Chain A
Amino acid sequence: MIKRRRFLFAIAALLPVLAIYAWVRVMPIAEILRLSLHRWDIISKNKPFIGLDNFRELLGDDLFLTALTNTAIIAFGVLAITIPLSLAIAGLIHHRTRSRFAGVWETAIFIPHVVSLVPAAMAWKWIFDAKLGPLNALLANVGIAPRAWLFDPVWSIVCIIVLCSWQALGYAVLIYLVGFKNLPKSLYEAAELDGASGLQRFRFLSVPMLKPITLYVSVVTLVSGFNVYAQAFVLASDSQGAPGRQVRVLVLDMLENAFRNYRVGYAASEAVVLLCIVLILTLIQFSLLRERRRS
């Protein structure tokens, strides 16, 4: 009787939450999979099932392929900067845990991760600005010719990578710091007794032992890199908002197909590609972790 009452309570309490969850999560995810297999344009009445045709079209779509390449370059670029830098910074901060400044450094490095994206991007837009920006002024002092950083197809991507790394770094440092704190103390004392220098302890103890954390941070960084949008939106659009100037990224291309070209089914297939990328990254992470645990 009492058991039955408890079960009923659990169901009654959980049901509203589950209903909301199903409505705002499960349903749209199912819907995106369904849409991707249909020719679903807002303006046309019939929306036939077309199998994988959308995906076939994506393979020959230059705009999509540019977007995919740009996004991948940004994601891996951010990864290449963030991981080594955050590992080194976290190692240094951890080394100085006892100093009263450790908290200050931690906060300062973390602030770019929490501040609103658009104002932060605005600061960088000014830094990179061709005429007013301090970057060109600085380079002029060393005798390097000024450049229109945000209007150059290659440099604008580099600028986005810098902005994204600046934001991602704080998170990575924080996660690494938690990792450092959980490393076994005794091992370090033993290494110290054996005469290992700080650098050696970092290189041969910390780095290998933090591998699971590196794996986790890498996947998180890559996934958020593949979802980059706001940064590209703010940095790489000129004052008239000309769309041709924007660095094309995956989410931008998707939204443009859905809301400017009214091709929702086609946009859905792009979303599914994004989903597949995320799934593959997550699977790689889990399988590597499992392998490690087994060995």
Chain B
Amino acid sequence: MTVARQENSARHENEAMHGSSIVDATGAAPRMPMRGRFRTRLSNLAIDGLLAIFSLAMIMPLVLLVANALKTPAEMLAWPPTVVPDAPTLANFCAVLGDTPLLRWIANSLLFAVLSTIAIVATSSIAGYILGKFRYRTLSVVFVIILATAIVPFEVYMIPLYFQVQKLGLLNSTAGLLVGYLVMSFGIFLIRQNVIHSIPDELLEAARIDGAGELWIFFRIVLPLLRGALGALAVLAFFQAWTAFAWPLIVATSKDAYTIEVGLALFQTGYTVDLGRLSAASALVLIPSVALFVVLRKNFVEGIAATGLKE
């Protein structure tokens, strides 16, 4: 099922919801005694309370981590842990920025994630469009191969891929990191589904009759119509590369080439470091990615939801 279709069903649901509220107002709905209505409201309140507590518990570890980053060593040991530090200090941030090339690692990760996003969006949109709209028997064979290799987890084939990168002399470089994240099978499926469901053949035919070239059609008609899906895919691809761990760990082994994930993981095992600095380093990575997520939440949720609905 496609994102477009989901939006559709969401709209239907909205209509249905409005419909039912009208029914309620006219009194055609089963009449509820006052006590029943009171009990419904009470149970709704209880559910809201439960969800609030649960949501709070879910983000608590991250909140406390950020709080720890702003605390003095003494306050960090206080029980119960304070959510808002009494005497907030930036000392931990300064210390960790002086100790480690943290900014360099963040820059490495950013570059890697941006390039990977561009590569994945480009390869997925081309392959998705061609596989969705050009029906030749040879192409369906290609599609089956992509489908079959899509279920193989990255961890399974990363060792041979490492040797391929090594042969090219690309270890410890962004290019080497990128080799593992140039394509995304799910991206190809996502774009293909969207092409099939939201780009009518007639539109393309009409453009062809008017004398439009294939490239013009792709850039001027297809890509603009795929904006929503491409946005969702871009967000997924970016976060996938930004949070990658095992691959950067084996490919980037010199301190200057680390991504932020690898740098942080090794920083905390390498030598004894105090909690404040660790928390500060972690917070420095967490805050922008949570902020980015909150901004791009809609795209993200669309993309993730689509992963669950492969038919």
A and B interact physically: yes
Binding site for B on A (CB under 8 A): 2, 5-7, 9-10, 13-14, 16-18, 20-21, 23-29, 31-32, 35, 89, 92-93, 95-96, 98-99, 101, 104-112, 114-120, 122-127, 132, 134, 137, 141, 166, 169-171, 174-175, 178-179, 181-182, 185, 192-193, 198, 213, 216-217, 223, 226-227, 229-230, 233-234, 237-241, 251, 254-255, 258-259, 264, 267-268, 271-272, 274-275, 278-279, 282
Chain B, residues 294-311, CB within 8 Å of chain A (1/0): the string is 100100110011011100
Instruction: State which residues 33-89 of B face A: CB under 8 Å.
Output: 43-44, 47-48, 50-52, 54-56, 58-59, 61-62, 64-65, 68, 76-77, 79-81
Q: Which residues of B contact A122 (CB under 8 A)?
A: 65, 264, 268, 278-279, 282
Q: Which residue of A has the minimal Cβ distance to B306? A: A178
Q: Could you list 14 A-B pairs, sorted by A, with CB under 8 Å?
A: A17-B123, A20-B123, A96-B48, A105-B52, A105-B54, A112-B62, A115-B286, A118-B264, A123-B62, A170-B58, A174-B308, A175-B305, A193-B30, A251-B155
A111 and B243 form a contact (CB under 8 A) = no
Interface of B is mostly: helix
The smallest beta-carbon distance between A290 and chain B, in angstroms, is 13
A268 touches B159 (CB 8 A): yes
Contacting residues, chain B, for A25 (C-beta < 8 A):
149, 152, 157, 183, 185
| A35 surroundings in chain B (CB, below 8 A) | 159-160
| Chain A nearest Cβ from B56, distance in angstroms | 7
Provided the pairs A96-B47, A111-B62 are in contact, do residues A279 and B160 lie with their beta carbons within 8 angstroms? no
Looking at B91-99, B192-200, B225-233, B269-277, the stretch in contact with chain A turns out to be B269-277
Q: Is the CB of A137 within 8 A of B79?
A: yes
With known contacts A17-B183, A24-B183, A274-B153, A267–B264 Cβ distance under 8 A: no
Determine the distance from Cα of A106 to Cα of B290 in the docked complex, in whole angstroms. 14
A230 in contact with B245 (CB, 8 Å): yes
Q: Check A101/B271 contact, CB under 8 A, given A31-B157, A108-B59, A230-B245.
A: no
Chain B 126-169 interface 0/1 with A at a Cβ cutoff of 8 Å (1 = within): 11001100101001001001100101111111111101100000
Residues from chain B with a CB closer than 8 A to the CB of A31 are 157, 160
A14 touches B130 (CB 8 A): yes
Contact among A98, A166, A275 with B152 in the assembled complex (CB-CB below 8 Å): A275
9 additional A-B pairs beyond A6-B134, A17-B126, beta carbons within 8 Å, are A14-B139, A35-B159, A95-B44, A110-B301, A117-B261, A127-B61, A170-B58, A181-B9, A226-B153
Interface residue B289 (Cβ < 8 Å from any Cβ of A) = yes
Q: Which of A23, A24, A134, A179 contacts B79 (CB 8 A)?
A: A134
Cβ-defined contact, B44 with A116, below 8 A? no
Quick check: B282 and A178 within 8 Å, CB to CB? Answer: no
* Most-contacted residue by chain B among A9, A93, A223, A274 (CB, 10 A): A9
| Contacting pair A119 B130 (CB below 8 A) | no
- In the bound assembly, the distance between CA atoms of A32 and B218 in angstroms comes to 37
Q: When the two chains form the complex, which single residue of A2, A169, A179 contacts B58, counting CB atoms closer than 8 Å?
A: A169
User: Using Cβ atoms and an 8 Å threshold, which residues of chain B touch A24?
Assistant: 161, 164, 179-180, 182-183
> Quick one: closest B residue to A98, CB to CB?
B17
Q: How far is the CA of A227 from the CA of B155 in the complex (A)?
A: 7
Q: Is the CB of B146 within 8 A of A115?
A: no
Contact A230:B265 (CB < 8 A) given known A20-B183, A105-B55, A241-B270: yes
Residue among A24, A192, A239 facing the most chain B CB atoms (10 A cut-off) = A24
Closest Cβ of chain A: how far from B279's Cβ, in Å?
7
Q: How distant is B277 from chain A, measured CB to nearest CB, in Å? A: 11
CA distance A18 to B272 in the complex (A): 47
Is the C-beta of B6 less than 8 angstroms from some C-beta in chain A?
yes
Report which residue of A26, A126, A255 has the largest number of chain B beta carbons within 10 angstroms of its beta carbon: A126
Complex Cα gap A234–B263 (Å): 12
**Cβ–Cβ < 8 Å partners of A93 in chain B:** 51
Q: How far is the CB of B86 from chain A (nearest CB, A)?
A: 17
Chain B positions within 8 Å of A21 at CB level: 123, 127, 146, 183
Question: How long is the Cα–Cα vector from A119 to B267 in the complex, in angstroms?
Answer: 11
Q: Does B283 contact A (CB under 8 A)?
A: yes
Which residue of chain B lies nearest to A12 when distances are taken between CB atoms in the complex?
A: B214
Q: Answer yes or no: B242 CB below 8 A from chain A CBs.
A: yes
Closest B residue to A199 by beta carbon equals B43
Which single member of B44, B62, B261, B305 contacts A118 (CB below 8 Å)?
Answer: B261
Closest 9 CB pairs of A and B: A119-B282, A108-B55, A31-B160, A241-B269, A175-B308, A28-B157, A28-B160, A230-B245, A123-B65
